[in-house]
Amino acid sequence: MTKRNFGFSTRAVHDGQAPDPQTGAVNVPLYLTSTYAQEEVGKHKGWDYSRAGNPTRDALEASLASLEGGANACVFGSGMAAIMALVTLLRTGDHVVCGENVYGGTTRLFNQIVVNYGIEFTYVDTSDPENVRRAIRPTTKLVHIETPTNPLMTLTDIRAVADICHEHGIDMSVDNTFMSPFLQRPIELGADIVMHSTTKFLNGHSDGLGGVLVGTRPEHKEKFGFVQKSTGGILSPFECWLVLRGVKTLAVRMKQHDENGRKVAAFLAQHKKVKKVFYPGLPQHPQHELAKRQSYGFGSMMSFELESFEAAKELLRSVRLCILGESLGGVETLISHPATMTHAATGAAMRARLGITDGLVRLSVGIEDADDLIADLDQALAKL
């Protein structure tokens, strides 16, 4: 039961999450079962085995499809498992155009596993949509992008790329992990498939992994549902339940993430020890107008550049409230050093080409009091 006429916050609380018809429980029950009793041979209530289907998972898939404005959704055991499922749309000889600075795990999967099946990839800077057009071949079947990119927060015009894809009859997928559907809904702008690591903002509490593919056509459910059943990389009922719980507060969390993100970015931008801040919400961000046009806010992901590796190390040693760690999108503020953490495997040459310096620090701003976060960064910057 979807209620598309309601606003986002209402749908986040209710869609897919109606009270349990049997007991009236206001939360979707956690169906910890591998199998289901069948009434007679060939007759069951719609579920026969939990790899193929589970009511807690169904609820989460209905919720996420509604929030992204898609037709359906399939959840997987992690974001990477979701991207692997996306790849099953392709056959030997097919070609993919991919953003050159997508999540490192995505390029690792494509370049070290998927290429072995005769699928080809071209990586381009999608911040200029014409680069996508130039890379398209007769065998191109998919264009996969991420916007904003990690960690330099470069944007891609989703509608412009979607238009190019559709002129050529190619599907476009968008990894929307950094924004969440509260702040950006690529399907409204023409994307065919939206992917998330639910590990991040959707779950929101840094306590579980997961991934989702939101589709726009019935064939997406058929295909990705078949992948769930056939390859088995499903999300467990417990993790589904955690994400269902997380999604109920998505709107309020994202409002606070966005407000804090703007305040922290503004603080960093005026600090004399900070060379540069990368945050689309700042008027000086070269794509600020695009950010305003295609998103409903700027979010809480940002990076900033300090003088040197030594300065970055000292800052990361000195913060007391911000937690040094990988990942993002949780209620707590996480701070990290891309060159030695998320982008260590990228290699120095590629990092230099992308502009990821040794003095770069990334922040996933949480929902604490912005003043406390600013005070923490201020005392740590004072040590440099």
Ligand X SMILES: *Cc1c(COP(=O)(O)O)cnc(C)c1O
CA gap 229, 245 in Å, rounded: 25
- Residue 299 touching ligand X (CB under 6 A): no
Near ligand X in 136-155, by CB under 6 A: 146
**Which strands sit side by side in the sheet containing 193-197, from one edge to the other?**
72-76, 211-215, 193-197, 171-175, 140-146, 95-99, 120-124
CA gap 102, 377 in Å, rounded: 28
Nearer to ligand X among residue 133 and residue 196 (C-beta)? 196
Q: Would you call 222 helix, strand, or coil by DSSP?
A: helix
- Residue 177 touching ligand X (CB under 6 A): yes
- Beta bridge partners, 39, equal none
Nearer to ligand X among residue 54 and residue 197 (C-beta)? 197
Q: How far is the CB of 201 from ligand X (least distance, A)?
A: 10
Q: Which stretch binds ligand X (CB under 6 A): 171-179, 237-245, 249-257, 279-287?
A: 171-179
Among 2, 13, 71, 105, binds ligand X (CB under 6 A): 105
Catalytic residue among 51, 159, 223, 275: 51
Q: How far is the CB of 219 from ligand X (least distance, A)?
A: 24
Residue 222 CB: number of other CB atoms within 10 A?
12
Query: How many distinct helices (H) and strands (E) make up the chain?
Result: 14, 12
Q: How far is the CB of 357 from ligand X (least distance, A)?
A: 21
- Residue 346 touching ligand X (CB under 6 A): no
Distances 68 to 109, 131, 384 between C-alpha atoms, Å: 25, 27, 43
Among 69, 211, 233, 246, binds ligand X (CB under 6 A): 211
Catalytic residue among 15, 103, 157, 253: 103
Q: Is 200 a catalytic residue?
A: yes
Q: Residues binding ligand X: what is the number (CB under 6 A)? A: 14
The closest residue (CB) to ligand X is 79
Element (H, E) at 223: helix 218-231
Catalytic residue among 133, 200, 253, 362: 200
Pick from 214, 383, 221, 224: nearest CA to 313? 383
CA gap 161, 167 in Å, rounded: 10
Sign of CA dihedral 321, 322, 323, 328: positive
Among 124, 209, 274, 311, binds ligand X (CB under 6 A): 209
- Residue 204 touching ligand X (CB under 6 A): no
Q: Which stretch binds ligand X (CB under 6 A): 73-81, 221-229, 258-266, 366-374?
A: 73-81
Q: How far is the CB of 336 from ligand X (least distance, A)?
A: 12
Beta-sheet pairing, 301-305 with 276-278? antiparallel
Angle, to 10 degrees, between the axis of helix 370-382 and the axis of helix 250-270?
Answer: 30
Residue 381 token pair: 């910057």
Q: Is 51 a catalytic residue?
A: yes
Among 16, 69, 70, 79, binds ligand X (CB under 6 A): 79
Nearer to ligand X among residue 187 and residue 370 (C-beta)? 187
- Residue 104 touching ligand X (CB under 6 A): no
Sign of CA dihedral 216, 221, 223, 224: positive
- Residue 100 touching ligand X (CB under 6 A): no
CA gap 297, 279 in Å, rounded: 11
Q: Is 221 a catalytic residue?
A: no
Nearer to ligand X among residue 133 and residue 253 (C-beta)? 253
- Residue 80 touching ligand X (CB under 6 A): yes
Q: Which stretch binds ligand X (CB under 6 A): 170-178, 245-253, 290-298, 349-357?
A: 170-178
Contact by Cβ (8 Å): 60, 66: no
- Residue 303 touching ligand X (CB under 6 A): no
Contact by Cβ (8 Å): 69, 101: no
- List the end-to-end C-alpha distance of the chain, in Å, as a whole number: 55
Pick from 86, 60, 147, 108: nearest CA to 346? 108
- Residue 200 touching ligand X (CB under 6 A): yes
- Residue 197 touching ligand X (CB under 6 A): yes
Q: Which stretch binds ligand X (CB under 6 A): 75-83, 312-320, 353-361, 363-371?
A: 75-83
Q: Which active-site residues does the annotation give? A: 51, 103, 175, 200
| Residues near ligand X, by CB under 6 A | 78-80, 103, 105, 146, 175, 177-178, 197, 199-200, 209, 211
